[in-house]
Structure 1
Amino acid sequence: MKTKNLLFSLAVACFVLVGCKNEAKKETLPVKKENVSLAISGMTCEIGCAKTIQSKLSKKEGVLDAKVIFKDSIANIEFDANTTSKKDLIAFVDGIAGGELYKASVNSGKETHSCSDACKEKCELKTSEKKDCRKDCKMSCCTDKKS
Protein backbone atom coordinates (compact mmCIF):
# COMPACT_ATOMS: atom_id res chain seq x y z
CA MET A 1 0.00 0.00 0.00
CA LYS A 2 2.88 2.36 0.83
CA THR A 3 4.52 1.62 -2.50
CA LYS A 4 1.30 2.40 -4.35
CA ASN A 5 0.92 5.76 -2.54
CA LEU A 6 4.57 6.59 -3.18
CA LEU A 7 4.27 5.88 -6.92
CA PHE A 8 1.05 7.90 -7.13
CA SER A 9 2.65 10.86 -5.33
CA LEU A 10 5.69 10.68 -7.61
CA ALA A 11 3.46 10.65 -10.73
CA VAL A 12 1.49 13.69 -9.50
CA ALA A 13 4.73 15.56 -8.76
CA CYS A 14 6.01 14.83 -12.29
CA PHE A 15 2.79 16.13 -13.87
CA VAL A 16 2.97 19.31 -11.81
CA LEU A 17 6.60 19.93 -12.73
CA VAL A 18 6.00 19.30 -16.44
CA GLY A 19 2.89 21.50 -16.42
CA CYS A 20 4.70 24.38 -14.71
CA LYS A 21 7.63 24.09 -17.12
CA ASN A 22 5.30 24.59 -20.13
CA GLU A 23 3.69 27.67 -18.60
CA ALA A 24 7.06 29.26 -17.92
CA LYS A 25 7.94 29.12 -21.64
CA LYS A 26 5.00 31.31 -22.68
CA GLU A 27 6.10 34.88 -23.27
CA THR A 28 3.76 37.80 -23.06
CA LEU A 29 4.24 40.39 -25.74
CA PRO A 30 4.10 44.05 -24.80
CA VAL A 31 0.79 45.74 -25.55
CA LYS A 32 0.76 47.22 -29.06
CA LYS A 33 -1.94 49.88 -28.81
CA GLU A 34 -3.86 50.83 -31.93
CA ASN A 35 -7.05 52.79 -32.48
CA VAL A 36 -9.82 52.33 -34.99
CA SER A 37 -13.01 54.22 -35.61
CA LEU A 38 -15.80 52.04 -36.96
CA ALA A 39 -18.93 53.34 -38.66
CA ILE A 40 -21.84 51.19 -37.50
CA SER A 41 -25.13 51.03 -39.37
CA GLY A 42 -28.29 49.46 -38.00
CA MET A 43 -28.34 51.14 -34.58
CA THR A 44 -31.84 52.38 -33.75
CA CYS A 45 -31.46 53.55 -30.14
CA GLU A 46 -28.79 54.71 -27.73
CA ILE A 47 -29.50 52.44 -24.79
CA GLY A 48 -30.47 49.20 -26.52
CA CYS A 49 -28.05 49.30 -29.44
CA ALA A 50 -25.13 51.60 -28.72
CA LYS A 51 -24.71 50.57 -25.08
CA THR A 52 -25.01 46.90 -25.95
CA ILE A 53 -22.34 47.15 -28.64
CA GLN A 54 -20.09 49.16 -26.32
CA SER A 55 -20.53 46.64 -23.51
CA LYS A 56 -19.78 43.65 -25.73
CA LEU A 57 -16.76 45.35 -27.31
CA SER A 58 -15.38 46.25 -23.88
CA LYS A 59 -15.47 42.58 -22.88
CA LYS A 60 -13.80 41.32 -26.07
CA GLU A 61 -10.28 39.99 -25.61
CA GLY A 62 -7.73 42.54 -26.79
CA VAL A 63 -10.01 45.57 -26.52
CA LEU A 64 -8.53 48.14 -24.13
CA ASP A 65 -11.28 50.77 -24.45
CA ALA A 66 -14.45 51.13 -26.48
CA LYS A 67 -16.84 54.04 -26.82
CA VAL A 68 -19.91 53.95 -29.05
CA ILE A 69 -21.42 57.29 -30.02
CA PHE A 70 -25.01 56.70 -31.10
CA LYS A 71 -25.69 60.10 -32.67
CA ASP A 72 -22.64 59.74 -34.94
CA SER A 73 -23.05 55.95 -35.46
CA ILE A 74 -19.39 55.46 -34.57
CA ALA A 75 -17.42 53.16 -32.31
CA ASN A 76 -13.99 54.41 -31.21
CA ILE A 77 -11.92 51.45 -30.13
CA GLU A 78 -8.46 51.20 -28.60
CA PHE A 79 -7.10 47.66 -28.88
CA ASP A 80 -4.00 45.51 -28.52
CA ALA A 81 -2.87 44.64 -32.05
CA ASN A 82 -1.04 41.57 -30.70
CA THR A 83 -4.38 40.11 -29.61
CA THR A 84 -6.95 41.30 -32.15
CA SER A 85 -7.17 43.26 -35.40
CA LYS A 86 -9.40 45.77 -37.15
CA LYS A 87 -10.79 42.95 -39.28
CA ASP A 88 -11.62 40.90 -36.15
CA LEU A 89 -13.34 43.89 -34.55
CA ILE A 90 -15.46 44.51 -37.65
CA ALA A 91 -16.47 40.83 -37.75
CA PHE A 92 -17.22 40.92 -34.02
CA VAL A 93 -19.56 43.93 -34.34
CA ASP A 94 -21.21 42.39 -37.41
CA GLY A 95 -21.87 39.22 -35.37
CA ILE A 96 -23.59 40.96 -32.46
CA ALA A 97 -27.31 40.12 -32.28
CA GLY A 98 -26.95 37.11 -34.55
CA GLY A 99 -25.27 39.03 -37.34
CA GLU A 100 -28.49 40.47 -38.71
CA LEU A 101 -28.74 43.96 -37.19
CA TYR A 102 -25.41 45.77 -37.35
CA LYS A 103 -22.89 46.37 -40.10
CA ALA A 104 -19.48 47.84 -39.26
CA SER A 105 -16.82 49.31 -41.50
CA VAL A 106 -13.71 51.41 -40.95
CA ASN A 107 -14.79 55.03 -40.64
CA SER A 108 -12.99 57.33 -43.06
CA GLY A 109 -13.27 60.18 -40.53
CA LYS A 110 -14.67 62.63 -43.07
CA GLU A 111 -18.30 62.51 -42.01
CA THR A 112 -17.77 63.18 -38.31
CA HIS A 113 -15.08 64.02 -35.82
CA SER A 114 -14.43 60.69 -34.14
CA CYS A 115 -12.11 61.83 -31.37
CA SER A 116 -12.94 61.98 -27.70
CA ASP A 117 -15.01 64.79 -26.21
CA ALA A 118 -11.86 66.32 -24.71
CA CYS A 119 -10.25 66.44 -28.14
CA LYS A 120 -13.37 67.89 -29.74
CA GLU A 121 -13.35 70.80 -27.31
CA LYS A 122 -9.67 71.54 -27.95
CA CYS A 123 -9.23 71.03 -31.65
CA GLU A 124 -12.45 70.56 -33.59
CA LEU A 125 -12.61 72.74 -36.65
CA LYS A 126 -16.06 73.00 -38.20
CA THR A 127 -16.03 73.59 -41.92
CA SER A 128 -19.39 73.39 -43.69
CA GLU A 129 -20.82 69.94 -42.87
CA LYS A 130 -17.49 68.24 -42.10
CA LYS A 131 -15.72 68.25 -38.75
CA ASP A 132 -11.96 68.00 -39.00
CA CYS A 133 -9.00 68.36 -36.68
CA ARG A 134 -7.03 71.58 -36.64
CA LYS A 135 -3.63 71.33 -38.29
CA ASP A 136 -1.81 72.17 -35.05
CA CYS A 137 -3.72 69.60 -32.91
CA LYS A 138 -1.36 67.30 -31.01
CA MET A 139 -4.00 64.87 -29.71
CA SER A 140 -3.23 61.26 -30.73
CA CYS A 141 -6.54 60.73 -32.50
CA CYS A 142 -5.85 63.71 -34.75
CA THR A 143 -2.20 62.95 -35.44
CA ASP A 144 -3.21 59.48 -36.62
CA LYS A 145 -5.47 61.04 -39.25
CA LYS A 146 -2.78 63.41 -40.51
CA SER A 147 -0.27 60.69 -41.33
Structure 2
Amino acid sequence: MENKKYVIGADIGGTTVKLGLFEEDGTLLEKWEIPTVIEGDGTAVLHDIAAEIQKCREKHNIPADGILGVGAGIPGPVTADGVVHRCVNLGWGVFDVRTALEETVGLPVVVVNDANAAAMGEAWKGGGRGSENVVFITLGTGVG
Protein backbone atom coordinates (compact mmCIF):
# COMPACT_ATOMS: atom_id res chain seq x y z
CA MET A 1 0.00 0.00 0.00
CA GLU A 2 2.90 2.34 -0.62
CA ASN A 3 2.60 5.75 -2.33
CA LYS A 4 -1.07 5.99 -1.44
CA LYS A 5 -2.42 8.12 1.39
CA TYR A 6 -4.86 6.86 3.98
CA VAL A 7 -6.91 8.08 6.91
CA ILE A 8 -7.99 6.36 10.10
CA GLY A 9 -11.48 6.75 11.55
CA ALA A 10 -12.11 6.07 15.23
CA ASP A 11 -15.58 5.91 16.77
CA ILE A 12 -14.83 6.11 20.50
CA GLY A 13 -17.78 4.60 22.34
CA GLY A 14 -18.46 3.67 25.93
CA THR A 15 -18.06 -0.06 25.23
CA THR A 16 -15.88 -0.34 22.12
CA VAL A 17 -13.72 1.76 19.84
CA LYS A 18 -14.54 1.02 16.23
CA LEU A 19 -11.67 1.75 13.84
CA GLY A 20 -11.44 1.93 10.08
CA LEU A 21 -8.71 2.31 7.49
CA PHE A 22 -9.87 4.44 4.56
CA GLU A 23 -8.49 5.65 1.27
CA GLU A 24 -8.60 9.42 0.75
CA ASP A 25 -11.82 9.14 -1.25
CA GLY A 26 -13.62 7.48 1.67
CA THR A 27 -13.34 3.89 0.47
CA LEU A 28 -13.28 1.61 3.50
CA LEU A 29 -10.43 -0.90 3.32
CA GLU A 30 -10.67 -2.51 6.75
CA LYS A 31 -12.63 -2.16 9.96
CA TRP A 32 -12.09 -3.59 13.41
CA GLU A 33 -12.86 -2.83 17.04
CA ILE A 34 -11.22 -2.93 20.44
CA PRO A 35 -12.68 -2.65 23.95
CA THR A 36 -12.88 0.84 25.41
CA VAL A 37 -10.69 0.99 28.51
CA ILE A 38 -12.05 3.72 30.79
CA GLU A 39 -10.30 2.92 34.06
CA GLY A 40 -8.47 5.81 35.70
CA ASP A 41 -8.97 9.03 33.80
CA GLY A 42 -10.14 7.33 30.59
CA THR A 43 -7.13 8.43 28.56
CA ALA A 44 -5.80 4.86 28.19
CA VAL A 45 -8.15 4.55 25.24
CA LEU A 46 -6.02 7.10 23.35
CA HIS A 47 -2.92 4.95 23.81
CA ASP A 48 -4.89 1.89 22.68
CA ILE A 49 -5.90 3.76 19.51
CA ALA A 50 -2.26 4.71 18.86
CA ALA A 51 -1.21 1.07 19.25
CA GLU A 52 -3.93 -0.05 16.82
CA ILE A 53 -2.86 2.52 14.24
CA GLN A 54 0.71 1.25 14.48
CA LYS A 55 -0.47 -2.38 14.04
CA CYS A 56 -2.53 -1.33 11.01
CA ARG A 57 0.44 0.47 9.43
CA GLU A 58 2.63 -2.61 9.93
CA LYS A 59 -0.02 -5.02 8.64
CA HIS A 60 -0.52 -3.03 5.43
CA ASN A 61 3.09 -1.82 5.01
CA ILE A 62 2.01 1.82 5.19
CA PRO A 63 5.00 4.16 5.58
CA ALA A 64 5.18 6.67 8.43
CA ASP A 65 3.95 9.47 6.16
CA GLY A 66 1.24 7.32 4.54
CA ILE A 67 -1.50 8.23 7.00
CA LEU A 68 -2.81 11.76 6.57
CA GLY A 69 -4.63 11.90 9.89
CA VAL A 70 -7.26 10.56 12.24
CA GLY A 71 -10.92 11.46 12.49
CA ALA A 72 -12.42 10.69 15.89
CA GLY A 73 -16.07 10.61 16.88
CA ILE A 74 -16.68 11.29 20.58
CA PRO A 75 -19.91 10.54 22.52
CA GLY A 76 -20.39 14.03 23.91
CA PRO A 77 -20.50 17.71 23.00
CA VAL A 78 -17.30 18.74 21.18
CA THR A 79 -16.17 22.27 20.32
CA ALA A 80 -14.68 23.17 16.93
CA ASP A 81 -11.17 22.97 18.42
CA GLY A 82 -11.65 19.37 19.61
CA VAL A 83 -12.44 19.92 23.28
CA VAL A 84 -15.13 17.68 24.76
CA HIS A 85 -17.34 19.12 27.48
CA ARG A 86 -18.38 16.18 29.63
CA CYS A 87 -18.27 12.72 28.21
CA VAL A 88 -20.07 10.56 30.75
CA ASN A 89 -19.37 7.19 29.05
CA LEU A 90 -15.61 7.80 29.13
CA GLY A 91 -15.31 9.61 32.45
CA TRP A 92 -14.09 12.83 30.84
CA GLY A 93 -14.99 16.31 32.03
CA VAL A 94 -13.60 19.18 29.97
CA PHE A 95 -10.86 17.48 27.97
CA ASP A 96 -8.85 18.59 24.92
CA VAL A 97 -9.19 15.31 23.04
CA ARG A 98 -7.73 16.63 19.80
CA THR A 99 -4.46 17.77 21.33
CA ALA A 100 -4.12 14.69 23.54
CA LEU A 101 -4.80 12.30 20.64
CA GLU A 102 -2.46 14.21 18.28
CA GLU A 103 0.32 13.94 20.85
CA THR A 104 -0.40 10.24 21.36
CA VAL A 105 -0.67 9.13 17.72
CA GLY A 106 1.71 11.68 16.19
CA LEU A 107 -0.76 12.57 13.43
CA PRO A 108 -3.19 15.40 12.72
CA VAL A 109 -6.56 14.75 14.37
CA VAL A 110 -10.08 16.05 13.83
CA VAL A 111 -12.57 15.43 16.65
CA VAL A 112 -16.36 15.75 16.35
CA ASN A 113 -19.42 14.46 18.13
CA ASP A 114 -19.98 10.81 17.14
CA ALA A 115 -23.58 11.26 16.01
CA ASN A 116 -22.53 14.24 13.86
CA ALA A 117 -19.68 12.17 12.38
CA ALA A 118 -22.12 9.38 11.53
CA ALA A 119 -24.51 11.85 9.92
CA MET A 120 -21.68 13.38 7.87
CA GLY A 121 -20.61 9.92 6.71
CA GLU A 122 -24.14 9.00 5.65
CA ALA A 123 -24.52 12.32 3.84
CA TRP A 124 -21.20 11.80 2.01
CA LYS A 125 -21.13 8.06 1.25
CA GLY A 126 -24.30 6.48 2.60
CA GLY A 127 -28.05 6.64 2.53
CA GLY A 128 -28.14 10.43 2.65
CA ARG A 129 -25.97 10.95 -0.43
CA GLY A 130 -27.48 13.59 -2.69
CA SER A 131 -29.96 14.80 -0.07
CA GLU A 132 -30.06 18.42 0.99
CA ASN A 133 -30.79 17.50 4.63
CA VAL A 134 -29.98 14.43 6.70
CA VAL A 135 -31.20 13.45 10.16
CA PHE A 136 -29.30 10.75 12.02
CA ILE A 137 -30.01 9.18 15.42
CA THR A 138 -27.52 6.93 17.18
CA LEU A 139 -28.43 4.26 19.71
CA GLY A 140 -25.65 2.49 21.57
CA THR A 141 -24.26 2.79 25.08
CA GLY A 142 -25.79 6.27 24.84
CA VAL A 143 -28.21 8.10 22.55
CA GLY A 144 -27.10 10.80 20.10
Same fold (TM over 0.5): no
Name which one, 1 or 2, has greater alpha-carbon Rg: 1
- The structure where strand makes up a greater share of residues is 2
Q: What's the TM-score, normalizing by structure 2?
A: 0.31
Using the size of structure 1 for normalisation, the TM-score is 0.31
Q: Greater helix percent: which structure?
A: 1
